[in-house]
Structure 1
Amino acid sequence: MKYILFSLSALFLLSGCSGKKHYEPIETSSNIELNKESLSSNIKSMNKIGATLDDNKIITKEGISSFELPEGFEFINLTNDGKIIATNYIDKILIGNEERVVKDVVIAASVKDNKLALIYSNNTIELIDMSNNKTLFKEYSTLSLANDTRITNPYFMGNLILFPTLNGKVIIVSGINNESVKNIAVDPDNEFNNIISLNVIESTQTLIVASPNKIVSISPKEILSKSYDLRDIIVKGQDIYIATIDGQVIKLTANLEEVSKKKYKYAKIHALAFTDSLYAIESQGYLININDDFNSDTVYDFSFDNEDRMIVIGNRVYFGSKYITLP
C-alpha cells in the first residue's frame, strides 16, 4: 500500500512539473553581440526613466553617473536642464544640489520654470512656486493602498501641468491661473490603477496615458480607451507598442487602432525596447527582435536572472548589476 501511495505521489509530482509551460522558440540566432558590462552595484530602485544603485549612483538617459546621491535619497526624475530630482521618502527632496523640506513623502516630482509639481504617497498633489515656496495648487485624492511600482512623474505640457494620480486619474492644472481645468478618469475601478506611463505625441498633441489595465488616448478631438493587461508600453514617434501579460506584442496608432499583433505562446515579457526596431525581452532568457510590420522576428539567447530588477533606457537594458547595449 505504501508503494502504491508513493507511486501515485510521484505521478502527481511529475504531472505537475510537466504541466508548467514555457516559451520555447523554434530556433535562435547568434548573429548579435550582447556583451554584458558591469554596473558598480545592483539596481536598488527604479521607475520608467531611471534607477538608483545600491552604491547610490544613478542610471538615466545620460548613462551611469560618476557621482553618488546623498545617503537615503533615490532618483525619481530629471529637470529640463539635467538636474537630478531625488527623494528620501521621508521629508525631503533633492533638486540638483539643493535639498528642500517637504510636507509629506514625495514619490514623483517634476520642475519647469521655477514651478515644482509633486505627488505624495498619500495621493495628494501640489504645485509650488520655488522662488518663495508658496503653494499654488493643492488637491487631496482618495488614498490608494495598492500601487503598481511603475509610478509616473507629473508632466508639463505648454501652460498645463498633468498630474498622474495613484487612483487612476490625470488631473490637469492650468499654469496660468493655477486651477484644475480637467480630471480624466483613466482606470478608476481596478485595484492596481495608478498611472504607469504618460507620453505626448507632439505632432498631433495627443496624450497617451496607461494604467496596468488600460490605455487612454486624449486628443483635442476625442478621448479613446482600450483595456489591456500591460507588461510594458513605449511610445515611439506616432506609434505605441505594448506587451501584455499573456505574451502578446501589439503595435497601435495614436487613436488606439491595432496595426500589427503577434502572440508568443507561454511567453512572459519583461520589457520592451526600441532602437531601429522593436525588441521584447522574455523571462526565460530570450531577446526577440520584431520587424516593423510584425511579419518576421529573430530570437536571440539572452540569459539573465528574471528575479533581477530590469530597466530599459534608450538602447540599453540594465538588469541586476549588468547591462547590455542593443544594436
Structure 2
Amino acid sequence: MIKNRNIYFALIVVFIFIGCSPKKYFEPTQIDGRIQFDHRLPDKIEVSNRYGATLEDGIVISENGMTQLKINKNSLFLNESQNYYIVTSDCYHIKLIDKNTQESIIIPTSTCALSASIKFNQLAVILEDNSTNIYDIKTKDILFSQKGVSSIAINSLVAAPVFLDTLVVFPTLDGRLLVVDTKSFTPVRNIIINSEKFFNNVTYLVVDGENMFAATGKRLVAIISGQEFSYDGDIQDVLYHKPYVYILTLEGQIIQLDRTLREVNKIKLPFASLNAIVIVGDRLYSIEKRGYLIELDINNFDYRILEVKGSFGKMKLDKMNFYDKNNIYYDKYYFNFNKEQ
C-alpha cells in the first residue's frame, strides 16, 4: 500500500537509529502468577488494525468477535459499521458487505482506503493520500472530498471517521480533526492535534455525548462541551472507559486521566513494551512483549504481573495482536477476560 520511496527511506533511518542504541528489556522483580491463552484461533493473525484482524486463512475478527466473513489476499478489512463489513478490494475499490444477506456494494476509489465508517446512506473514508471523502452508497457519487497534506509515514492504528447528528469528524493522517457538515458537505471546523512530520496520523477517536477524545502518537486531546484540553507524551495506545481515559506510553507507563486530561493515577514499568488495553469490571489488562500480562486494579492502581505460558514455557508476545472489549488475541491464541462468558 505504501508507494513513496521516501517512506522506505524514513523507515530505514528510524531502524538504524534504534539499532545503534543499546536495547534494554523489561525484567519484573516479582512474578505474581501464570496464565495461558486458553482459546485457539483457526489460524494465525496476519494483519490487524484498530477495528479488526485478519487471519492467514482470510477469516476476519472484528470488535464484536469472530465473524462469518472471509476475505482474499488482495483485500483488507477496515471496519464493521452499521450493518456492513467494510473491506478494501485491490486498493481501488471499497466493498460493503451486508452482514445479513452477504450482498456487496462496490464503490471505486482513487487509491487505497485506510479507514471508513457508515451512517445511513453515507460512507466516510480516509484514503492513503490523506483525502477525506464522503460517498453516497446508493449512487456511488462523491458528495465531499478534500485532500490534506500527504504523510510520509503513519502509525498502523488509523482511526475511523465518526458520524454525529449532522456532522462527520475525520481523523486525518496529518494530525487534524476535520469536521464536515453532512447536509451542506462543507467543512465547519479544523482542529489541529499535532504537527509532527512522521507518524502523526490520528490513531484514536471516540465521541461520547458532548465529550470527544482524539490522539496521535504525541498528543491526546479532549473536547468537553466545547472546551479543549491536551496531554503530551509518547503515546502507544488510548482507551476511553467512562469516566476516565487510559493511555499506554512508550516508556512503559499506564496512566489514568480524568476527562480534562489531568493525571489521576499512573504506574511505570521500566523498559516495558505494552500493547492492548482491555478493561473488564475494575481490572485493566495489557500485554508486555517479553511474555507478561499486566493486571491492574483501576480503583487503586495496584497491579499484578503474570507470566504468559506457552506449550514450551514462557511465551513471548512480540507477534501480531488485536484486542476488543473482552479479549486479547495474539498470533493464533486468545484469552477472554469476561469471566461471565
Identity %: 26
Q: Which moved more, 1:65-74 or 1:258-267?
A: 65-74
Taking the aligned partners of 1:71 and 1:271, their CA distance within structure 2 comes to 26
1:71 CA displacement: 4.5
Taking the aligned partners of 2:261 and 2:72, their CA distance within structure 1 comes to 42
Question: Does structure 1 residue 296 correspond to structure 2 residue 296?
Answer: no
Give 1:209's aligned amino acid: A
1:264 CA displacement: 1.1
Give 1:231's aligned amino acid: Q
Tell me the residue number matched to 1:165. Answer: 172
Tell me the residue number matched to 1:217. Answer: 222
Taking the aligned partners of 1:20 and 1:135, their CA distance within structure 2 comes to 48
Q: Which moved more, 1:103-112 or 1:297-306?
A: 297-306
Tell me the residue number matched to 1:87. Answer: 88
Superimposed CA distance per residue, residues 265-307 of structure 1 (whole angstroms, 9 cap, x where no aligned partner): 2222122221111112112211111112344111111143333
Q: Secondary structure at the match of 2:36?
A: coil
Name structure 1 gaps, 5 residues minimum.
1-18
Task: Please point out which of 229, 250, 268 is paired with 1:245.
Answer: 250
When the two chains are superposed, the root-mean-square deviation of aligned CA atoms in Å is: 1.7
Equivalent residues of 1:42, 1:321 under 8 A apart: yes
Question: Does structure 1 residue 110 correspond to structure 2 residue 117?
Answer: yes
Task: Please point out which of 312, 328, 341 is paired with 1:317.
Answer: 328
Structure 2 vs 1, CA of residues 292 and 87 (structure 1 numbering), >3 Å: closer, same or farther?
A: same
Equivalent residues of 2:37, 2:333 under 8 A apart: no
Taking the aligned partners of 2:158 and 2:202, their CA distance within structure 1 comes to 6
Equivalent residues of 2:26, 2:272 under 8 A apart: yes
Pairs within 5 Å for 1:155-234: 155-202=162-209, 205-234=210-239
Taking the aligned partners of 2:202 and 2:24, their CA distance within structure 1 comes to 31
Equivalent residues of 2:113, 2:127 under 8 A apart: yes
Taking the aligned partners of 2:301 and 2:175, their CA distance within structure 1 comes to 35
Q: Which moved more, 1:302-311 or 1:139-148?
A: 302-311
Taking the aligned partners of 1:190 and 1:225, their CA distance within structure 2 comes to 19
Q: Which moved more, 1:302-311 or 1:247-256?
A: 302-311
Q: Secondary structure at the match of 2:46?
A: strand
Give 1:107's aligned amino acid: L
Taking the aligned partners of 2:69 and 2:113, their CA distance within structure 1 comes to 22
Taking the aligned partners of 2:324 and 2:315, their CA distance within structure 1 comes to 17
Equivalent residues of 1:197, 1:209 under 8 A apart: yes
Tell me the residue number matched to 2:15. Answer: none
Tell me the residue number matched to 1:262. Answer: 267
Equivalent residues of 1:89, 1:106 under 8 A apart: no
Name structure 2 gaps, 5 residues minimum.
1-21, 98-102, 309-313
Q: Secondary structure at the match of 1:293?
A: coil
1:154 CA displacement: 0.9
Tell me the residue number matched to 2:13. Answer: none
Give 1:87's aligned amino acid: T
Tell me the residue number matched to 1:286. Answer: 292
Question: Does structure 1 residue 128 correspond to structure 2 residue 130?
Answer: no
Equivalent residues of 2:152, 2:197 under 8 A apart: no
Taking the aligned partners of 1:109 and 1:200, their CA distance within structure 2 comes to 16
Task: Please point out which of 302, 313, 316 is paired with 1:305.
Answer: 316
Taking the aligned partners of 1:33 and 1:24, their CA distance within structure 2 comes to 17
Give 1:61's aligned amino acid: E
| TM-score, normalised via structure 1 length | 0.88
Question: Does structure 1 residue 101 correspond to structure 2 residue 104?
Answer: no
How many pairs are equivalent?
305
1:235 CA displacement: 0.9
Taking the aligned partners of 1:117 and 1:197, their CA distance within structure 2 comes to 16
Structure 2 vs 1, CA of residues 298 and 94 (structure 1 numbering), >3 Å: closer, same or farther?
A: same
Taking the aligned partners of 1:106 and 1:295, their CA distance within structure 2 comes to 39
1:61 CA displacement: 2.6
Tell me the residue number matched to 1:4. Answer: none
